[in-house]
Amino acid sequence: MSLLSPVTSIAEGIGYQLELLGSVAARLHHVPGRARLVADQVYQSALQTVHVVLVVGLFIGMIVALQTGIELARIGQQDQIGTIVSLSMAREMGPFITATILAATAGSSMAAEIGTMSVSDELAALEVLSVDRVKLLVLPRVVALAIAAPLLTILCDTIGILGGGFVAQSQLNVSYQLYLDSAVEALRDPARILPLPKDVYGGLFKAFVFGVIVALIGCAAGLRAQGGALGVGNATRSAVRDAIIAIIITNYFITWALYQS
């Protein structure tokens, strides 16, 4: 095996994912005709993940409040806890945590479903029947997660901020009303382009991009699966791993583009 083969393999994988992204973009006009498939996927990926997002989001908000609150209390600035929790949740934690949960649930599920179709000749059957598998399998999943990820992120942000308030009141002696006032005030900073709080729409934009990434990487891994159950297992593992890496790298560049200036 050549020393370059892992690099070649990664490059091939990224190339395939980008090609798939182009194929999906070229078929976006078919979305209205796929509304039912998109709705099914939104149900599977979003509604069946809501409880996980709520639990994780709640505790992330509480952890952020506790960690930063303890330090702020030492310098007598615990009144600022609402600002820090709301900005953390809206800018970073909400979209990132939601995308990670989606990678582990919806992304892995997509890789396993499509991978199983691949190793059981169902994808070959679609090809033989001249059925466009990008239109049938990939497009609805990508659109569904592009819709679901921002919606779940709103939930995650909200429950996280509320959880932080609970910690602020019970552990840091900051009244709930003061906490909420500072949390809401922090999110009022208007953007230059849109008449919306920049931290909110920036986070939701991230969530949208992460949703597309998770679905695209999950579908690509499934489509390339081969070699029976072992191949499906490998596809599922690589889908989750690659999605999380891609989310973190993309997150840095989006953050840089939104906040650097």
Partner 1 sequence: MSQSPDPVIELRDVVKSFGPQRVLDGLSLAVPRGKCLAIMGPSGTGKSVILRHVIGLIRADSGLVAVEGRDVAKLSRKDLSALRKRMGFLFQEGALINWLSVGENVALPLRENTDLGDAEIRERVQAKLELVHIPDAWEKMPSQISGGMKKRVGLARALITDPEIVLYDEPNAGLDPEISQSINDLLRELHERLRVTALLVEHRVRCIRTVADEVVFIEKGRVQIQLPPHEFFHSDNPRLVQFLGTDPD
Q: Which residues of this chain interact with partner 1, rule CB under 8 A? A: 116-117, 120-122, 124-132, 135-136
Residue closer to partner 1 by CB (options 117, 247) is 117
Residue with tokens 């992304």: 107
Q: What is the DSSP letter of 131?
A: -
Cβ 121 to partner 1, closest distance in Å?
A: 4
**Considering the complex, what minimum distance in angstroms separates the CB of residue 14 from partner 1?**
23
Q: Tokens in use for 234? A: 């490998």
The nearest distance, CB 209 to partner 1, in angstroms, is 28
Q: How far is the CB of 125 from partner 1 (least distance, A)?
A: 4
For the chain, the first-to-last Cα distance in angstroms comes to 46
Separation between Cα atoms, residue 31 and residue 25, nearest integer Å: 10
Shortest reach from residue 134's CB to partner 1, in Å: 12
Rounded to a whole number of angstroms, the minimum distance from the CB of residue 214 to partner 1 is 20
- Buried b / exposed e over 27-40, threshold 16 CB at 10 Å, is beebbeebeebbee
Beta-bridged to residue 190, according to DSSP, are 197
Instruction: State which residue, 127 or 189, has the beta carbon closest to partner 1.
Output: 127
Each residue of 158-194: b (16+ CB within 10 Å) or e? bbbbbbbbebbbebbebeeebbbebbeebbeeeeeee
Length reported for the chain: 261
Between 30 and 171, CB nearer to partner 1? 30
Is 2 or 130 the residue whose CB approaches partner 1 more closely?
A: 130
Contact between residue 73 and residue 172 where contact means Cβ atoms under 8 Å apart: yes
- Residue number with CB closer to partner 1 (130 or 260): 130
Nearer to partner 1, 28 or 196 (CB): 28
